[in-house]
Amino acid sequence: MTNADDAPALLLGKPTWLVNQVSGYAHRLLATHLGQVGARGYHFRTLAVLAEFGPISQADLGRHAQMDRSDVTAAVSELAADGLAERVPDTSDRRRNVVSITQAGRDRLRQLDQILDGVQEELLAPLTAEERSALTGLLARLLSHHATAGTPQPWAG
């Protein structure tokens, strides 16, 4: 009828609802800004791990980036096709590939990182610096708790 867009109290009282909604906004901002330069979240996550930990196997890459191994395979193939990463067989363990970032990949990572910094500002716009650090501190606490607890992990397979 009218433009009443308030969620029911049953939802507003649930932290899972709040965090899912905020994550939804973050996801849409990310998809919009990354999509404008032809990138996806998996690309940034993969490049960030390669820059900090690579050369590395795809399995370890997935553990660092919280990605399933099958998704790592696809992301690395896409990055390699664009010359942003290289995939070569591991001679010391022939089950594995060794994935490394190229110079073009480092440039791409720098570009995407700047885009992401803009998104952070947009997402947290209404909060003061103190509130932002309080929020990130609490979220980091939850993350480290569940990373070491029995909570299901995305990279379990």
Partner DNA sequence: CTCATTTCAGTGTTACTGACATAC
Partner DNA sequence: CGTATGTCAGTATCACTGAAATGA
Q: Which of 70, 45, 47 is nearest to 59 (CA)?
A: 70
Residue recorded with tokens 């001679």: 91
Q: Is 24 in the site for DNA (CB under 7 A)?
A: yes
Q: Quick one: how far is CA 144 from the chain centroid? A: 16
- CA 58, 61, 63, 65: dihedral to nearest 10 degrees? -130
In the shown chain, the binding pattern of residues 76 to 115 toward DNA, with x for contact by CB under 7 A and - for none, equals xx---------x--x--xxxxx------------------
Options 65-73, 107-115, 128-136, 142-150: segment touching DNA (CB under 7 A): 65-73
- For the chain, counts of helices (H) and of strands (E): 7, 2
Nearer to DNA, 10 or 156 (CB): 156
Interface positions with DNA (CB under 7 A): 1, 20, 24, 27-28, 30-31, 35, 40-42, 57-60, 66-73, 76-77, 87, 90, 93-97, 152-157
